[in-house]
Amino acid sequence: MSETFTKGMARNIYFGGSVFFFLVFLALTYHTEQTFPERSNESEMNESVARGKLVWEQNNCIGCHSLLGEGAYFAPELGNVFERRGGEASFKPFLHAWMKAQPLGVPGRRAMPQFNLSEQEVDDMAEFLMWTSKIDTNDWPPNKEG
């Protein structure tokens, strides 16, 4: 074997590596496209979920909270708030009470503002958060409290 590294060898490594990683990229893209429908929870999306997402966006909730790892880390992660705060049995009443009680006025803690949402808007927000909690996120967030 030659002790020198020639331009031809470098070119072959470059092109060979480029082709290899391009094929890996295509394989991962195909895999993602095949598994996405079963992980996305799209089948359970309804008008209430869409209205809840609109409430989420109009009030810039992501400016303080994160949802499924996206957003600000100033306030708690809300991707699993449905399970943390009672599940099917008591999540909606909890969310209504929590939204009405804002701001809490706890000393030394920044408060969530009072958005003065209607009962319907809070219900829609609850539906949106319930829907997001059922998305397969590979166990994100990593701990119970987000």
In whole angstroms, what is the distance from residue 40 CA to residue 36 CA? 6
Write out the H or E segment, with its range, that includes residue 88. helix 87-101
Q: What are phi and psi of 39, to 5 degrees?
A: -95, -20
The domain spans of the chain are: 1-39, 45-146
| Cβ contacts of 114 within 8 Å, gap of 6 or more | 102, 103
**DSSP label at 62?**
G
- Tell me the mean pLDDT in the region 23-50: 92
Residue 50 banded pLDDT, cuts 50, 70, 90: very high
- Tell me the mean pLDDT in the region 123-139: 92
Q: Map residue 118 onto helix, strand or coil.
A: coil
In whole angstroms, what is the distance from residue 143 CA to residue 115 CA? 28
> In the prediction, which pLDDT does 42 show?
86
Task: State whether the Cα torsion 9-13-16-19 is positive or negative.
Answer: negative
- pTM listed for this prediction: 0.78
Written out in words, the top-level CATH class of the domain with range 45-146 is mainly alpha
> In the prediction, which pLDDT does 60 show?
95
144: tokens are: 């119970």
In whole angstroms, what is the distance from residue 123 CA to residue 51 CA? 10
